[in-house]
Amino acid sequence: MLRTYAEVKQAISSGDTVMSILEGYLSAIEENKDLNAFLEVFENSARLQAKLVDEKITNRTAGRLAGMVIGLKDNMCYKGHKVSAASKILLNFESLFTGTAVERLIAEDAVIIGRLNCDEFAMGSSNENSAFGPVLNPIDKTKVPGGSSGGSAAAVAAGLCTAALGSDTGGSIRQPASFTGTYGMKPTYGRISRHGLIAYASSFDQIGPFTNSLEDAALLLEIMAGTDDFDSTTSSKPVEKYTNFQTERKTKVAVIKESYEVEGIDAEVKGTLDKTIEALKAAGHTVEFVSFPYLEYMVPTYYVLTTAEASSNLSRFDGVHFGHRSESAKGVEETYKKSRSEGFGPEVQRRIMAGTFVLSHGFYDAYYTKGQKVRRVLQNKTNEIFEEFDMILLPTTPTPAFDLNALKDPISMYLQDIYTVHANLTGNPAISLPIGKHSNGLPFGIQVIADHFKEKEMFEFSNVLEKIIAN
């Protein structure tokens, strides 16, 4: 199956049609139904799009993504198509508009193939929290694909589409990318519009791509990025030519010393990072260890703040204004209680309750206000690092993918985000590169974090890093 856009373009130049390429992906999806990556395949609309793109190719009017087949995480709005955030509370809900990021891809003639399974309302690190069943890791079907964008990662890893979109609130793109051997990128907060993304935690959420090549990730960011009147948090900073990699630059890289001291880090993950550091030094780059003494506070801070925002954002799904309405409820209060109890799964309920507690009278200052102060400390310390260094290098995950149903304790699951929440708390861009392979055959990633709006430099360094590791 065609795994990169370069392969798609080569196939088209050799005489294949976008329709034939689409049909190949549709067949692959059918053959891999057991992965449970797709919640719905948009066969009819995808075929219509493919036909139009083929006509544009013939007329030489096709856009920059002509023939790229893309899947959408099931929390992104696409007009006339269902979107559920993998939750029963939004079962059969059909979007009335298309989100900005998706709209920009379609404008460049990408073909949208379907919606992809995820943890309910993007809350999870394993894709076991979906109301529609877990997603399996295509590398090893006994393992999780990571979460919350597990369906997106699995689809790209299995070659069921050329690329996919995910959302990243605390690592929900990068962690599954690491577990599936794909590229997963979270841009700077405000680089891509959140318009049309069902909110989990609005000051953290960002849309980003899953791909099988660094070039494809850069291209998709280039097209989706930019200001948007529908999202006031988007930046007016110019969108750079991310696909124009320059490899001559020597880079000064920081490695967070405390990342080596995380309990449970796999020896081979650590060893790969060591080898990467030595390879960078040998190639003339500067690599130094720096202290980041707040690593242990990141996950608690993240969950205090995100659950608070989730409590607020998800209050709209109450069976009256929005979402599933209980058929057995009598009266307004009972409608609220039963509709939300029936519609939300256990993890979503857990986070709503935690967030409501954090925001409650008497605890607001003790938890939410303090969490925001800690977030500022983390931001300031990160800014200090980038005053001296160009990039931060660290593992994406402590281990490769773990077994399905292995982590029953919510706290153990939350700690899977130990390396990824950093970039969400501070708003920095970050990418997971598939440059590690465990002795058990499972892939794992190495993560690069850059300064705000330095995506171009991040891609350039990642390109250099891949070449160094390959040699």
What does the buried/exposed string (b/e) look like for 349-370 if buried means 16 or more CB atoms within 10 Å of the residue's CB? eebbebbbbbbeeeeeeebbee
CA 144 to chain centre: 15
Shortest CA distance to 185 belongs to which of 426, 447, 391?
Answer: 447
Gyration radius (Cα) of the chain, Å: 21
CA distance 283 to 275: 12
Of 214, 276, 174, 287, the C-alpha closest to 459 is 214
Q: Is residue 213 flagged as an active site residue?
A: no
Q: For residues 187 and 220, is the Cβ–Cβ distance under 8 A?
A: no
Question: Could you tell me if 144 and 127 are in contact, meaning their C-beta atoms sit under 8 angstroms apart?
Answer: yes
- The two tokens of residue 57 are 């190719």
Catalytic residue among 152, 172, 213, 462: 172
What letter does residue 231 receive in the DSSP assignment? B
Phi-psi region of 159 (alpha: psi -120 to 50; beta: other; left: phi over 0): left
Helix 455-470, helix 267-282: angle, nearest 10? 100
Strand order in the sheet with 69-73: 38-41, 111-116, 69-73, 163-168, 206-211, 183-186, 430-437, 443-450, 391-395, 252-256, 286-290
Question: What is the maximum span of the chain, computed from C-alpha positions, in angstroms?
Answer: 71
Q: Which of 73, 186, 338, 456 is catalytic?
A: 73
CA pair distance 122, 117, nearest whole angstrom: 10
Query: Residue 328, class by beta-carbon neighbours within 10 Å (0-12 exposed, 13-18 middle, 19+ buried)?
Result: exposed
Answer for the pair 394, 432: CB distance below 8 angstroms, yes or no.
Answer: no
Q: Which two tokens stand for residue 190?
A: 């405000």
- Catalytic site residue 172? yes
C-alpha–C-alpha distance, residues 299 and 421, integer Å: 7
> What is the rounded distance in angstroms from the CA atom of residue 179 to the CA atom of residue 153?
8
Residue 148 a catalytic site member? yes
The contacts of residue 29 (CB under 8 Å, 6+ apart) are 37, 38, 41, 113, 114, 155, 160
Active-site pick, 130, 148, 178, 259: 148
* Separation of alpha carbons 283 and 468, rounded Å: 7
Residues serving a catalytic function are: 73, 148, 172
